[in-house]
Amino acid sequence: MPPIDIDETLATLTEERSALLHQLAELGADESGELTGDMDYGDAFADAGAATAERTETMGIIENLKIHLDGVDRAIARIADGTYGICTVCGKKIPEDRMRYRPTSSQCIDCKKTASI
């Protein structure tokens, strides 16, 4: 397999970033995950419970998008400072198939395992 093309990876991450921002905007949130305005949750007076549940669900989705966006941002930053593909814990090179599978990886499998125990 050819080595990872950093330019291509950066292009993919940049694309992913704008897709995530688009999804956040559609949910009424900005880049920081803050809601930017009043969302229309239907007739809140008729069914406040359902509106609250829907809002909670939306906040959960926004939270997940935000976590993903942070990962993409950090990967882009690591490409910029030349540390992309290097484990942030042990400083070893992360195997390329792992980077290919998950381009936002910041730790090698061993360190990730240790961290999640």
Distance, CA of 7 to chain centre: 19
Say how far apart CA 30 and CA 11 lie, in whole Å.
Answer: 22
CB of 104 to Zn ion, least distance (A): 15
Answer yes or no whether residue 106 interacts with Zn ion by CB under 5 A.
no
3-class secondary-structure state, position 59: helix
Residue closer to Zn ion (CB basis): 11 or 109: 109
- Can you list the pairs that 94-98 forms with residues at least 24 positions away whose Cβ atoms lie under 8 Å? 96/1, 96/3, 96/4, 97/1
CB of 88 to Zn ion, least distance (A): 8
Cα–Cα distances in angstroms (integers) from residue 113 to residues 51, 58, 87, in the given order: 40, 31, 13
Site for Zn ion in 34-93 (CB under 5 A): 87, 89-90
Interface with Zn ion, residue 109, by CB under 5 A? no
Min dist CB 112 to Zn ion, Å, is 8
User: Is 13 or 108 the residue whose CB approaches Zn ion more closely?
Assistant: 108
Residues in touch with Zn ion (CB under 5 A): 87, 89-90, 108, 111
